[in-house]
Chains A and B, each alone.
Chain A
Amino acid sequence: MSVLVGPDTRLLVQGLGRDGSFQSSRAREYGVNMVAGVHPGRGGQKFENAVPIFESASEAVDRTGANVGVIFVPAPFAADAIIEQVDAGLDLIVTITEHVPVLDMVKVLAYLEGKKTRLIGPNCPGIIQPSSRVKVGIIPANIVQEGRIGVVSRSGTLTYEAIAQLSQYGMGESTCVGIGGDPLHGTTFTDVLEMFENDPDTDAIVLIGEIGGTREQSAAEFIKTGVTKPVVAAIVGQTAPPGKRMGHAGAIVTGKAALASEKIDALRNAGAHVVNSPAYIGRQMRDLIG
């Protein structure tokens, strides 16, 4: 069983505006099986003359057997779209949308309790899996190659940077997962680490964290006992001043635990190989498994 997505992935895209359409085209070019679109007012039409568009997610799921949803709808409507996709019975929802209000996410996460649906994001680049040519989200397909490294990150372009570094040293990816830069998000580092640990296609893991929150510490706790595969980690934001938000809603030093140095210590103590500079992710991985 591969991580999060695989050859059986049947993708539903909700929100076919400018970004949603552009990214859906790229994802289809890459090879993803996009079976449905959802966009209000466009039910009955087809995306690129091929994929049926529906008015609602539940109708789309009933008619196409979609099992993974991706959300591009604007932030004011994103929480509602997530709840709609949960109700439609999707297994996995990837929310790309940035700037979803925190109190909306509080309710969404509470609503997800006890449901079978897993949420990735919001404010994330999504998932890409070269072996099955599945792309759910916005990670550029031309930078990844099939390989055996699992990548999990809170960031978008920094994930691309890590992938580029792996490529530079001749390594490719099993699955890349962006969990998002918001303080309240669905799937955590720990969840994805567990999936990579259990994934026969993954030999080693790259974890990219940043200042803010304590999710990296939770990941470190899990790595201690739950991860046997090598983990290369980078934590960015060492030069960020306290109390200032660094772009991502969650990237702010509010107390000692939120500091990069605290996270680095926790991960090192857990046995992860934390690079001193984010420029050395690829090199460190090569040294470990090369």
Chain B
Amino acid sequence: MKIHEYQARQLLADYGVPVPRGEVADTSRDARRIAEDIGGPVVVKAQVHAGGRGKAGGVKVVGTPLEAENAAASILGRPLVTPQTPPGGVVPRKVMVAEAAQIERELFLAALVDGEARAPVVMASTEGGVEIEEVAENNPDKIIRVEADPLVGLSPYRARALSVKLGLPTNLVHPAADLIGNLYRLFTEKDCTLVEINPLVVTVDGRIIALDAKIELEDDALFRHPDLARLHDPDQDDEHELRAARAGLSYVKLEGGRVGCMVNGAGLAMATMDITRWAGAEPANFLDVGGSASEDAIAEAFRIIVSDPEVEAILVNLFGGILRTDGAARGIIAAAQETGADLPIVVSMRGTNAEEGRRLLAESGLEVTSADSLSGAADALREVLGDAAR
């Protein structure tokens, strides 16, 4: 689960990580008041769950409270389009107003789990303020990495060694090591999948501050953090992905595709997307209905797929185990009749009650082509798409 910068900033502050003075505002008037309280230049930042805000005009440095109000007014309520948002952008509902620090150096600091090392790691770089992926690509030597021991934690000496490697002046080595220790504590205690401070700055007056922060929380651990679960902002989610999640489905919209896919199992769903391309068209979505989806969940999955205006054909691939394919067929038929969708559907159903499922679909009056294998489904899809083109 992603959270906003202002929420991440608060969590860092709770763990003793120095952050710039500031507050979050819902309106431009609030933004002005906060700027007045801070006094001096401030930075006004759009609160959206996407990187690349600065280049997209979502971050503005201003000198006066009036300018802060104008900056906030120009950001709030207007779609912000960055490389990480959907093409239509995301509308910022809040802005962060914070003191504009006098920066001497910009660093990068992050904690995450390294799957290969099977341990949490803290990564740092002297190249702060830029996309760390770029640094990893072009200057991998600039990334410093320390591992934590899964059972011992992050030993303080390792945090100090990291601070020294960052080339910090002697008087800042200990504060930086403390900061790294606190970052790690936040990472583990709150079950984060990522805590990233970029940039971590050394100010002209010799302080070390987390100027921008990104935190991602682990969905699978939210059961033990009800307070964090409340930080979720549904406004930032794709409407369809949100609907799917509520129905217990896993859905990801893919830009530019025209074949809607409905599959049980993540691996088989990816395989089905891949054979869609093999058949000459791009998939419009990833959709895993799970291992034991009910008739209702299948119907909702169908509704979500057909609500995407780009979808021209549907590919259903279900391998029944606990999932009963006859129930799935009923769900599809019900949703198709209800939505009036008259798209061609290619169906591959195998496993539990598959014959009954196929019979129901064949007799439903829907435009259904049945297949009994993955390659058969690809062939059928190719034919259906060819027909559509004619």
Contacts and interface: CB of A to CB of B under 8 A. Distances in A.
Interface of A: 19, 22, 75-76, 99-104, 106-107, 109-111, 138, 140, 143, 153-161, 164-165, 168, 181, 183-184, 208, 210-211, 213-214, 234, 236-241, 243-251, 255, 276-280, 283
Q: Sort A-B residue pairs by CB-CB distance and give the 6 closest, nearest first.
A: A155-B267, A247-B266, A157-B265, A158-B267, A279-B375, A110-B150
Contacts of B269: 246-247
A153 B271 CA distance: 13
Contacts of B254: 239, 241
Interface stretch (B6-14, B88-96, B278-286, B358-366): B278-286
Residue from B113, B224, B269, B377 having most chain A Cβ neighbours under 10 A: B269
Contacts of A164: 319, 350, 373
Nearest to A178: B267
B115 to A, nearest CB: 4
B322 A22 contact: yes
Contacts of B288: 247
A159 B151 CA distance: 34
A247 B273 CA distance: 13
Interface residues of B, number: 55
A111 B265 contact: no
Given A161-B268, A239-B254, A277-B375, A103 B278 contact: no
Contacts of B263: 157
Interface in B206-250: 218-221, 223-224, 250
B151 A161 contact: no
Contacts of A19: 322
Contact of B220 (A102, A110, A276): A102
Residue from B254, B267, B277, B288 having most chain A Cβ neighbours under 10 A: B267
Contacts of B255: 241
B218 A165 contact: no
A103 B191 contact: yes
* Chain B interface main SS type: mixed
Contact of A248 (B267, B276, B374): B267
Interface string B83-123: 01000000000000000000000000000010110111000
B194 to A, nearest CB: 11
Contacts of A249: 220
A278 B373 contact: no
A140 B321 contact: yes
Contact of B275 (A138, A244, A250, A277): A277
Nearest to B249: A247
B270 interface: yes
B118 A101 contact: no
Interface of B: 84, 113, 115-116, 118-120, 133, 136, 149-151, 188, 191, 193, 218-221, 223-224, 250, 252, 254-255, 263-271, 273-278, 282-283, 286, 288, 291, 319, 321-322, 350-351, 373-375, 377-378
Contact of B221 (A101, A168, A210, A255): A101
20 contacts: A75-B220, A102-B191, A102-B218, A111-B151, A155-B265, A157-B263, A158-B270, A213-B115, A234-B271, A236-B267, A236-B271, A238-B274, A238-B277, A240-B286, A247-B250, A248-B267, A277-B374, A278-B274, A279-B374, A279-B378
Contacts of B278: 276-277, 279
A203 to B, nearest CB: 23
Contact of A239 (B188, B267, B268, B274): B274
A255 B268 CA distance: 23
A240 B270 contact: yes
B273 A239 contact: yes
Contacts of A237: 270, 273-274
Contacts of B351: 140, 143, 160
Contact of B282 (A159, A234, A239): A239
A255 B119 contact: no
Nearest to B133: A255
Contact of A246 (B218, B266, B322): B266
Contacts of A156: 265, 267-268, 291
B223 A76 contact: yes
A279 B273 contact: no
Contacts of B276: 239
